[in-house]
């Protein structure tokens, strides 16, 4: 089955901000952590927060009854008097989790009420956001959900109109027209969130191009319900689900192409699970050959064979860049070592994998025995090959293998963990990306020089930097895609430390600097044509970075394969130059 994911599916800015604040408090706050009411409208996310020790307050405790603790204001916002009562209750910290766009609407209402204007809020009266907005109107607020309700309003003067941020544009425009017809000119603030506009416009376009639409999100989420309504207007079948377990596989099997969108409160990991389930459904229109080829391709990528072959290709490129003949034993060592480390570390870090890549997590569980066995065999094979090459390659690979095994193992003494806020090497902020780049560069670039005993230091440094930067940027791009899952488990990756936008800019500048280095490298000896050919993998990774960061490609096995293809490409280009 072909699956197309809407570009703007999942957490909006406000919901994402609230989740990040909540998870940060769960990992670092002292004392109990609460949210005032449900943080967002998604039961799976609320259950996740509960598992992290974050409890939801159904009502505000009496004044002075609480001894410390943190309470987080939900993304929908609350009336100002509720914040005052929370302070009086005795909470030591109140974290503002209200969406900034909701705060803007609250400010508009507060200013209008202060001057004595009557405020009309277009929205659902029972929705938490609207309840919070009314609290800023000083008793001068009215809620209208349909154009027909305008006739029921009392006589109003100096009317200011705002919208619940998740309203549809059509409904807001119709109500404004009725208000103008009845009260004359009114002051209109079109406060519908841009993300809501984009999602609704996008699902209209998506529905025209697919055979059916799956809408992911909580049943109590207003914006999710409206997405389903907009999709249904296309006449195509619409399937609204909270989790992948609710997908009607038999009905979906009749379709060839399915579009997927998600409400603003649906997390990435939940969307990925739905995508994984849809990808496993065989359409009645799909031939046997295509289905078999898709399964073989998935196995090849998910088993880490693809990235291991990429390491073998990079070893050829690094050797040739240093003026060395690609040695089969060194190429095989890189293949076995990278395969073993990727497989074993995926098992050691499986908690984050449940959120970041549910498809791989399921694959690892299904083929656990084979993968662990082949990983142990590959680690032994890499050491055996190094032993045949010489004592120094064996010592180097043994050392970095030990570091790789210890990466996820708690090695910090219990007495020091609280002070250092880490228990193992993986808890060091940004360590995963840096250690992966370093390990690749050592195996791919340093081992050939050690194995041959030929030290061309300028060329060695060039090969080391070329490999390390490409691997670092590859990992950083995937880390950006995995931010939500890493936040859930408390991992301090580079995008979490620096922010996603800064990380993507860092990747861009690193690739640009590497390209400049390759252009200038012939001045130090490496052949001009070889260096120019090796610019192509840099350009390919820069292109994939842009495609994935913009959401132009569905995350999964195909996008991962295209990113890892740059390592194959580097090896193929270097070998072609060497042979010809």
Q: Which residues are catalytic?
A: 129
The CA distances from residue 319 to 331, 337, 463, 498, in Å, are 10, 17, 8, 34
- Three-class SS of residue 33? strand
The CA distances from residue 27 to 22, 30, 54, 346, in Å, are 9, 9, 10, 23
Retrieve residue 468's tokens.
């390390």
Give CA–CA dist 347/440, Å, rounded. Answer: 19
- Beta carbons of 121 and 130 less than 8 angstroms apart: yes
The CA distances from residue 428 to 407, 408, 485, in Å, are 10, 11, 17
- Three-class SS of residue 262? strand
- Beta carbons of 371 and 364 less than 8 angstroms apart: yes
Cα–Cα–Cα angle for 444, 549, 257, rounded to 5 degrees: 105
Name the one residue in this structure whose structure tokens are 């060039």: 462
DSSP 284: T
Task: Please report which helix (H) or strand (E) contains residue 129, including its range.
Answer: helix 128-134
DSSP 553: S
Query: Helices 328-348 and 368-389, interaxial angle, to 10°?
Result: 140
Contacts of 424 (CB under 8 A, 6+ apart): 406, 407, 408, 409, 410, 411, 412
Retrieve residue 266's tokens.
């649906």
The CA distances from residue 252 to 5, 216, 238, 256, 280, in Å, are 16, 15, 10, 8, 11
User: To the nearest 5 percent, what fractions of the chain are helix, strand and coil?
Assistant: 65, 10, 30
Strand 238-241 and strand 212-216: the pairing is parallel
Give CA–CA dist 304/367, Å, rounded. Answer: 12
Contacts of 312 (CB under 8 A, 6+ apart): 331, 332, 334, 335, 571
CA 576 to chain centre: 37
- Beta carbons of 70 and 96 less than 8 angstroms apart: no
Give CA–CA dist 497/479, Å, rounded. Answer: 11
Strand 187-188 and strand 159-163: the pairing is parallel
């Amino acid at each position: 089955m072909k699956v197309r994911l809407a570009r703007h599916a999942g957490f909006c800015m406000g919901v994402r901000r609230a989740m990040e604040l909540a998870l940060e408090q769960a990992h670092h706050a002292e004392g109990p952590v609460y949210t005032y009411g449900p943080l967002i409208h998604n039961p799976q996310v609320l259950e996740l927060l509960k598992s992290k020790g974050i409890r939801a307050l159904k009502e505000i405790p009496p004044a002075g009854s609480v001894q410390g603790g943190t309470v987080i204001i939900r993304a929908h916002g609350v009336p100002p008097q509720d914040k005052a009562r929370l302070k009086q209750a005795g909470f030591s910290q109140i974290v503002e989790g209200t969406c900034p766009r909701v705060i803007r609407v609250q400010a508009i209402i507060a200013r209008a009420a202060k001057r004595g204007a009557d405020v009309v809020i277009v929205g659902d009266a029972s929705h938490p956001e609207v309840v919070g907005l009314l609290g800023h109107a000083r008793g001068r607020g009215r809620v209208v959900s349909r154009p027909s309700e305008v006739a029921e309003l009392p006589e109003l003067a100096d009317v200011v109109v705002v919208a619940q941020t998740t309203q549809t544009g059509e409904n807001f425009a119709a109500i404004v027209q009725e208000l103008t017809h009845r009260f004359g000119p009114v002051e209109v603030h079109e406060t519908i969130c841009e993300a809501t506009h984009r999602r609704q416009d996008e699902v209209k376009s998506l529905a025209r191009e697919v055979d059916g639409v799956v809408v992911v999100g909580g049943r109590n989420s207003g914006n999710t319900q409206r997405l389903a309504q907009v999709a249904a207007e296309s006449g195509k079948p619409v399937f609204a689900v909270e989790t992948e377990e609710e997908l009607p596989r038999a009905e979906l099997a009749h379709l060839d192409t399915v579009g997927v969108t998600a409400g603003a409160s649906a997390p990435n990991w939940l969307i990925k699970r739905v995508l994984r389930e849809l990808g496993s459904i065989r359409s009645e229109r799909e031939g046997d050959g295509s289905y078999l080829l898709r399964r073989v391709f998935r196995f090849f990528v998910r088993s880490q064979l693809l990235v291991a072959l990429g390491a073998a290709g990079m070893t050829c490129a690094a050797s040739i860049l240093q003026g060395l003949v690609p040695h089969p034993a060194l190429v095989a060592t890189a293949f076995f070592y990278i395969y073993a480390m990727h497989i074993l570390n995926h098992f050691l870090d499986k908690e984050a994998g449940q959120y970041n890549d549910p498809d791989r997590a399921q694959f690892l569980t299904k083929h656990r025995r084979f993968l662990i066995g082949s990983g142990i065999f590959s680690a032994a094979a890499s050491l055996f090959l190094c032993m045949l090459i010489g004592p120094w390659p064996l010592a180097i690979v043994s050392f970095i293998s030990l570091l790789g095994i210890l990466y996820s193992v708690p090695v910090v003494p219990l007495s020091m963990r609280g002070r250092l806020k880490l228990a193992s090497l993986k808890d060091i902020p940004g360590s995963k990306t840096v250690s992966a780049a370093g390990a690749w560069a050592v195996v791919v670039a340093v081992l050939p020089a050690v194995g041959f005993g030929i030290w061309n230091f300028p060329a060695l440094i060039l090969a080391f930097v070329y490999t390390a930067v490409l691997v670092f940027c590859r990992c950083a791009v995937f880390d950006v895609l995995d931010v939500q899952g890493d936040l859930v488990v408390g991992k301090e990756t580079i995008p979490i430390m620096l922010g996603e936008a800064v990380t993507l800019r860092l990747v861009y500048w690193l690739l640009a600097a590497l390209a400049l280095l390759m252009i200038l490298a012939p001045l130090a000896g490496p052949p001009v044509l070889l260096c120019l050919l090796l610019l192509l993998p840099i350009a390919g990774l820069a292109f994939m970075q842009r495609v994935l960061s913009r959401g132009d490609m569905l995350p999964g096995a195909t996008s991962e394969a295209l990113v890892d293809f740059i390592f194959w490409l580097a090896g193929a280009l270097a070998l072609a130059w060497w042979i010809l």
